[in-house]
Amino acid sequence: MPVSRSLPAPGQGLPERADRLIPGLATAAVALAAAFLVHRLVPVLPAMTLAVVLGVLAANLPGAGVWTAGRARPGLDFAGKHLMRGGIILLGLKVSIMDVLGLGWLALVLIAGVVAASFGGTYLISRLFRLPPVTSLLVATGFSICGASAIGAMAAIRRIRHVDTVLPVALVTLCGTLAIGVLPLFVHPLQLSPAAFGAWTGASVHDVGQVVATAQTAGTAALGVAVVVKLTRVLLLAPVAAIAGAHQRFAVRDRAGAGEGAAADAEAGDAEAKLPPVVPLFVLGFIAMVGLRSTGWLTAGWLEAGAALQDILLGAALFGLGSAVRIRTLLLTGGRALLAALASWLLIALLGLAAALLITA
């Protein structure tokens, strides 16, 4: 896999690599501290969403944009790629198999159905709006499973360029933030119980932090249901990743086998050596953390420490991704993408509402 120009080449010594990474990582750390501070003062604003917003601001403000596109870029790209994977691994510590099974088989089938229908529907909508296949795949993954974390996982599995994740992350952040303000407005018109609203939020809102911010408006009962339903969607990241990894391997083999003769044999040998794993190591790490959490061995203190570290890693990664967003370019090229995202958001909201009413009936 070719090395990005903004990342240190493998042959560089550790001091030189650190010199290139430190400015961007330090910038992400300062921004992340600001995001946590604002979240502490205004809890309804998720820290992860704030991290993306601060990244976008840093990329588009005079002076700051020069810094994030220049000397800070290697560290910010490192955060967007590698720290994202670390955050995904630790995300598994939030998922307990016992909590998921406690929902009952009907709920599990409905949630899996919502994820499958959301994924397929969002991909189809994106293609109808003439978005590229790669963008459509990432948007469908992020909207149907767990926001930017799922986008980062899918990009790593399918070996999608870092720059191609920027627009999907921006869209999933925008629509997830929209849900925080819009969904609570429908509690009374639809006469939703706290449990039903929590299930709706967990089944349809993208990021875990956005789910918490939305569900807590209806009280602790809604929040408890929302978190379990959402984490059940997060758990589905593992099988989706395995399917995507297997598909990628078959695609590489098919391309290698398209030629003839000795050249085809040589290409097939090279392709075999470069085949991506069916399930990448960081996804296996995620599964391992789910298993560890489900044993009940970890104390509350360890779980809190893991959650804090996960927030730091994902927050830094999201700031790095946000700092690559250029508003002018987004406005020129992202009009169709925004319409596709809003249509997908409406589809998932309706699917999630139908599932929530069945789950809590």
Nearest to 79 by CA among 173, 135, 7, 13: 7
- What region, left, alpha or beta, does residue 97 occupy, with left being phi > 0 and alpha being psi -120 to 50 degrees? alpha
3-state helix, strand, coil in the chain (%, to 5): 80, 0, 20
pLDDT for the residue 273: 45
Q: Work out the angle between the directed axes of helices 237-256 and 148-157 (0-180°, nearest 10).
A: 30
Rounded (10°) CA dihedral 106, 356, 91, 311: -170
Nearest to 95 by CA among 285, 222, 342: 285
Distance of CA 295 to the CA centre of its chain: 26
Cα three-residue angle 243-162-25, rounded to 5 degrees = 120
Task: Using alpha carbons, list the distances in angstroms from residue 260 to 253, 266, 270.
Answer: 14, 10, 15
Contact yes or no for 240/141 (Cβ under 8 A): yes
pLDDT for the residue 333: 64
Nearest to 55 by CA among 86, 32, 85: 32
Question: pLDDT tens, position by position, for the chain (361 residues)?
Answer: 344 444 555 555 566 677 899 999 999 999 999 999 999 999 888 998 899 999 989 999 988 989 999 999 999 999 988 999 999 999 999 989 999 999 899 999 999 999 999 999 999 999 999 999 999 999 999 999 988 889 988 998 888 887 888 889 889 988 988 899 899 999 999 999 999 999 999 999 988 889 998 998 899 889 999 999 999 999 998 888 888 888 777 766 666 665 544 444 444 444 444 566 666 788 889 999 999 999 999 999 999 999 999 999 999 999 998 898 887 777 766 688 999 999 999 999 999 999 999 998 8
Query: What burial letters (b/e) apply to 181-220, b meaning 16+ CB within 10 Å?
Result: eebbeebeeeebbbbbbbbbbbbbbbbbbbbbbbbbbbee
* pLDDT tens by residue, 2-46: 444 445 555 555 666 778 999 999 999 999 999 999 999 998 889
Q: Work out the angle between the directed axes of helices 281-295 and 84-91 (0-180°, nearest 10).
A: 30
Tell me whether residue 246 is exposed, middle or buried, using C-beta atoms within 10 angstroms of its C-beta: 0 to 12, 13 to 18, 19 or more. Answer: middle
**Structural tokens at position 21:** 């990474």
Contact yes or no for 132/149 (Cβ under 8 A): no
* pLDDT tens by residue, 58-117: 999 988 989 999 999 999 999 988 999 999 999 999 989 999 999 899 999 999 999 999
d(CA 208, CA 274): 34
What does R_g of the chain's alpha carbons equal in angstroms?
A: 20
Contact yes or no for 351/149 (Cβ under 8 A): no
d(CA 321, CA 149): 11
Residues 6+ apart with CB under 8 A from 32: 47, 51, 312, 315, 316, 319
d(CA 70, CA 259): 42
SS3 132: coil
